[in-house]
Copies of this chain bind each other. A is one copy, B any other.
Amino acid sequence: MIAEQVVELNYRYAQCLDDNRLSDWPGFFTEDCRYLIHPRENFDARMEGYWLYFENKRMLRDRVVSLLEVNIYPIRRERRFVSNVMLTGRDGDTWLARASYMLVHTDNEGRSSIFSVGEYRDRIVESGDGLRFRERQVIADTFLVPSHLSMPI
Q: Which residues in A have some Cβ–Cβ distance to B below 8 Å?
A: 8, 11-12, 14-15, 18, 39-40, 77, 79-86, 98, 100, 102, 104, 106, 109-114, 116-119, 141-143
Residue of B at shortest CB range from A12? B86
A83 to B33, CA, bound (A): 26
Chain copies in the assembled complex:
3
Contact of A110 among B8, B85, B113, B143 (CB under 8 A): B143
Residue of B at shortest CB range from A4? B3
- Assess the B142–A111 pair: CB atoms within 8 A: yes
Residue of B at shortest CB range from A106? B141
Contact of A142 among B8, B40, B100, B112 (CB under 8 A): B112
A86 partner residues in chain B, CB cutoff 8 A:
8, 11-12, 15
A117-B84 in contact given A18-B100, A142-B106 (Cβ < 8 Å): no
A85 to B118, CA, bound (A): 21
- Assess the A15–B82 pair: CB atoms within 8 A: no
Residue of B at shortest CB range from A143? B110
- Assess the B141–A112 pair: CB atoms within 8 A: yes
A77 partner residues in chain B, CB cutoff 8 A:
40, 141
